[in-house]
């Protein structure tokens, strides 16, 4: 007999085999994790059968350029993904959970962060994590070759319009007065920022440049390119995040 636990696994395997079209039409409400249900630990062969569909991989590429964290407990272990946003972006985090819930054991949780060291304020967050799975190992290898996040050297071939959408959702800010978009790339080296600039210029035909701030370098997409970017990304942008591209 196939129980709820096995249905979760079955849905992931089917989605991986049939791809984007099936995944987008599947009634995934059937497979929402039940909060209080005690689930069995997945066996190794079950984990190995879980496939990451290409459309979700494209989204994860963009998210990993942004705030998404991939984690491994050991060098030979498998990878899990940790999603987190401030409470004001709860609609967005629940949107992400809706995309990845078949890879999760439990629903998003709301909690308070530790007090901010600079301001003393306590901020509320919403977060969830995926199961630890082999299908995420490739992404960990790309973005964490030395156990710290980098920009992969082949980011040009990895980043698609869908990935760019979710990178902007995570790290983008639209300046209403001057109508440009800024990407918070402060954690990357100048060389990595230049690599990202090349992708934005050559693959997406955007006018953009880097600005040095106290905490690092940020990318600015010129107002002259925002209209073109809106045309490209608006059909793909989650509705609650359209303000990130000035819509």
Each residue of 220-242: pLDDT tens digit? 999 999 999 999 999 999 999 99
Q: Does residue 7 carry a pLDDT above 80?
A: no
Assigned CATH class of 155-245: alpha beta
Q: What percent of the chain has pLDDT over 90?
A: 67
Same fold, 4-143 and 155-245: yes
Among 161, 166, 167, 160, smallest CA distance to 188 is for 167
Position 247 confidence tier, pLDDT thresholds 50, 70, 90: confident
The answer to whether 71 and 80 have CB atoms below 8 angstroms apart is: yes
How many other C-beta atoms are found inside a 10 Å radius of the C-beta of residue 112? 10
CATH fold for the domain made of 4-143: Endonuclease I-creI (3.10.28)
Instruction: Give the pLDDT confidence score for residue 9 in this predicted structure.
Output: 45
> What's 68's DSSP letter?
-
pTM, two decimals, is 0.81
Domain ranges of the chain: 4-143, 155-245
CB 128 within 8 A of CB 93: yes
Comparing 6 with 168, which gets the higher pLDDT? 168
Distance CA 133, CA 196 (A): 28
Mean of pLDDT values over 150-173: 97
What's the pLDDT at 147? 84
Q: Taking all residues of the chain, what is their mean pLDDT, rounded to a whole number?
A: 84
Q: Which of 153, 135, 172 is nearest to 60 (CA)?
A: 135
Burial of residue 158 (CB within 10 Å: 0-12, 13-18, 19+) is buried
pLDDT in tens, 205-225: 999 999 999 999 999 999 999
Average pLDDT value for residue range 87-114: 90
Angle CA(245)–CA(246)–CA(247) in degrees, nearest 5?
Answer: 100
Report the run of H or E that residue 55 belongs to, with start and end.
Answer: helix 54-65
Quick count: other Cβ atoms within 10 Å of Cβ 161? 15
Rounded distance, CA 4 to CA 239, Å?
Answer: 31
The whole-number pLDDT of residue 44 equals: 84
Residue 164 main-chain phi, psi, to 5 deg = -65, -40
Contacts (Cβ under 8 Å, ≥6 apart) of 30: 7, 11
The pLDDT assigned to 117 comes to 64
pLDDT digits (tens, 9 = 90+) for 168-201: 999 999 999 999 999 999 999 999 999 999 999 9
pLDDT at 76: 87
Strand order in the sheet with 109-112: 69-72, 79-86, 124-129, 109-112
Lowest mean pLDDT among 13-27, 79-93, 129-143, 175-189: 13-27
> pLDDT (tens digit, 9 = 90+) per residue, 12-49?
443 443 343 333 333 333 334 434 445 567 888 888 88
């Amino acid at each position: 007999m196939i129980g709820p636990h096995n249905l979760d696994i079955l849905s992931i395997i089917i989605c991986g085999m049939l791809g984007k079209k099936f995944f987008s039409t599947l009634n995934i409400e059937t497979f929402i994790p039940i909060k209080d249900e005690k689930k069995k630990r997945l066996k190794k062969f079950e984990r190995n059968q879980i496939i990451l569909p290409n459309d979700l991989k494209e989204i994860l590429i963009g998210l990993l350029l942004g705030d998404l964290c991939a984690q491994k407990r050991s060098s030979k272990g498998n990878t899990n993904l940790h999603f987190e946003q401030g409470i004001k972006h709860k609609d967005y985090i629940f949107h992400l959970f809706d995309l990845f819930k078949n890879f999760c054991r439990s629903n998003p949780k709301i909690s308070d962060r530790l007090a901010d060291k600079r301001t003393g304020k306590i901020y509320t967050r919403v977060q969830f994590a995926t199961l630890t799975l082999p299908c995420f190992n490739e992404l960990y290898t790309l973005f964490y070759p030395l156990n710290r996040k980098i920009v992969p050297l082949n980011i040009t071939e990895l980043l698609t319009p869908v990935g760019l959408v979710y990178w902007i959702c995570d790290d983008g800010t639209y300046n209403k007065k001057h109508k440009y978009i800024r990407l918070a790339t402060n954690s990357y080296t100048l060389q990595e920022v230049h690599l990202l600039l090349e992708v934005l210029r050559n693959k997406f035909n955007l006018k953009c440049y880097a600005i040095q701030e106290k905490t690092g370098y940020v990318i600015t997409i010129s107002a002259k390119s925002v209209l073109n970017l809106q045309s490209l990304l608006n059909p793909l942008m989650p509705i609650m995040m359209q303000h990130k591209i000035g819509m």
